[in-house]
Amino acid sequence: MEEKDPKQQKVVLVTGGTSGVGLAAARRFLAGGAFVCIAGRDPVRGAAAVRELLKAVPGSMAHVYFRAADVRDVSACEALVEATVQRYGHLDVLVNSAGAYLEGALDALTEQQFDDILAVNLKGTVFACQAALPHLRETKGCIVNVGSDAGVHGNYCCTAYCAAKGGVSLFTRALALEVAKDGVRVNAIAPGDLLTPLTERQLAAAPDREAAIREMASVYPVGHIGTADDAAAAICYLASADAGFITGTILSIDGGLTA
């Protein structure tokens, strides 16, 4: 990759950027010439993600770095944004991909579990946006939040996760209205099941992995589940100039599930 000046290129911050949708989005932005900060809680996974990105996009060493951050902590969100701006000079795109999943009946839900699922999925999204907004106003940038089909309709035995992702959906719409006058766009994607490390952890408990995937795919009109790159493509589109007239949208990436 030809060495470029970050002042002349798009700068992207991706929370939850060390795996799954976040990592796939980072790869696409990097391949398109952007400077990318990926954030996550685990420095070991962060280092591995950077190596994977450098292998996928050779010569991009100066274009990507990892910053350890726990988005459940408001001060960590602030420090993450400031570190990105200090390194690259500005911020054009914030992708809130940090997330956690929880299944189980409401009867068994603990206060700690509920607090954690809200903190990662909703609180982290809200306060990363808050920290980024002053910089995005300067660049007329945009935000893409990663929601879920579970934030569009209810899922069985998934109350806490649905509440958190439903919050992301309405927060996205409300913030889009609030900052439209500033030239900042705010959208979200709402993926269905994707074959990501998170889904693989669910499949690991199944006695027959392939049978479990077939059962999971059976509810999708297109006949299969999606990939992280399907979601990443939508993120990059919403962050592009081609989507310049789109804000306040929750874009379903679900093979027709919510049609």
The Cα 23–Cα 26 span in angstroms is 5
Q: Could you tell me how many residues make up the chain?
A: 259
The residues, ordered by sequence, that sit 6+ positions from 147 with a Cβ below 8 Å of its Cβ are 165, 168, 169, 172, 188, 189, 190, 191, 250
Annotated active-site residue in 65, 161, 220, 237: 161
Q: For the chain, count helices (H), then strands (E).
A: 9, 9
The Cα 4–Cα 24 span in angstroms is 22
Query: What is the 3 state secondary structure string of 96-123?
Result: ECCCCCCCECHHHCCHHHHHHHHHHHHH
The angle at the Cα of 63, spanning 60 to 67, to the nearest 5 degrees, equals 120
In this structure, are strands 185-191 and 194-195 parallel, antiparallel, or unpaired?
unpaired
Residue type at 155 in one-letter notation: N
The Cα 33–Cα 29 span in angstroms is 7
Q: Which helix (H) or strand (E) holds 233?
A: helix 228-238
Handedness of CA 2, 3, 7, 11 (dihedral sign): positive
Q: Is 156 a catalytic residue?
A: no
- The residues annotated with a catalytic role in the active site are 161
